[in-house]
Amino acid sequence: MQKIAVVGSPNVGKSVIFNNLTGTYATVSNYPGTTVEVSRGKSKIGNKEFEIIDTPGIYSFLPLSEEERVTRRILMQENPCLILHVVDAKNLERMLSLTLQLLEASLPVILILNIIDEARALGMKIDTARLEKELNIPVVATVSITGEGMDILRGRIEEHVKRFC
């Protein structure tokens, strides 16, 4: 079964995105040799079933903590066919460095601008189409706790996996 990894800094809504994609089925386990928890679940997207992996929080692809080492190991050894990079839309500029590191590592990425409602409330306007063109990857705005944008995200995942997975 092919895998999709959900990555991002702590507190950006990775687990809510994971739960939205997997429904109620999820298993939480410690990564072998560590005390770091990794959640895994299944999701049917289009006509294919995937294992979805909710990775520990990561700030950089160059690991400094055990959590970051586990996430990097999952990305490099488990070879997911897609990486969902979840960022807090309010802090997009600060969080794009990880996006660029993932792209430099030639990993297949969809950028998820989560918590977009709070960014809008602050008066921020993010041109997702321009960002998508500049980065040359799909970009989706979501509010994971309300489900806003999740249907669009599923569609973008389905488009990606038809071409690459």
Report the pLDDT value the prediction gives residue 33, as an integer from 0 to 100.
58
Q: Could you tell me if 14 and 74 are in contact, meaning their C-beta atoms sit under 8 angstroms apart? A: no
Where helices occur in the chain by DSSP H, the ranges are 14-22, 66-77, 92-104, 116-121, 128-135, 150-164
| Full DSSP string of 20-33 | HHHTT-EEEEEPTT
Report the pLDDT value the prediction gives residue 36, as an integer from 0 to 100.
73
Q: Which amino acid type is present at position 8? A: G
Q: How many domains are contained in the chain?
A: 1
Instruction: Give the range with max mean pLDDT: 8-22, 41-55, 109-123.
Output: 109-123
Kindly give, in sequence order, each residue whose CB lies less than 8 Å from that of residue 74, ignoring residues fewer than 6 positions away.
5, 31, 38, 53, 55, 80
pTM to 2 decimal places: 0.93
d(CA 27, CA 40): 5
The tokens 């690991």 sit on which residue? Answer: 63
Backbone φ, ψ for residue 128 (5° rounding): -65, -35
Kindly give, in sequence order, each residue whose CB lies less than 8 Å from that of residue 125, ignoring residues fewer than 6 positions away.
none
Q: Which domain holds residue 127?
A: 3-164
End-to-end CA distance of the chain: 10
Is the model's pLDDT at 28 over the cut of 60?
no
Kindly give, in sequence order, each residue whose CB lies less than 8 Å from that of residue 77, ignoring residues fewer than 6 positions away.
none
Query: Residue 53 — pLDDT band, cuts 50, 70, 90?
Result: very high
Q: Which amino acid type is present at position 137? A: I
d(CA 46, CA 159): 9
Query: What's the CATH number where 132 sits?
Result: 3.40.50.300
- Tens of pLDDT along 98-157? 999 999 999 999 999 999 999 999 999 999 999 999 999 999 999 999 999 999 999 999
Query: Residue 52 — pLDDT band, cuts 50, 70, 90?
Result: very high
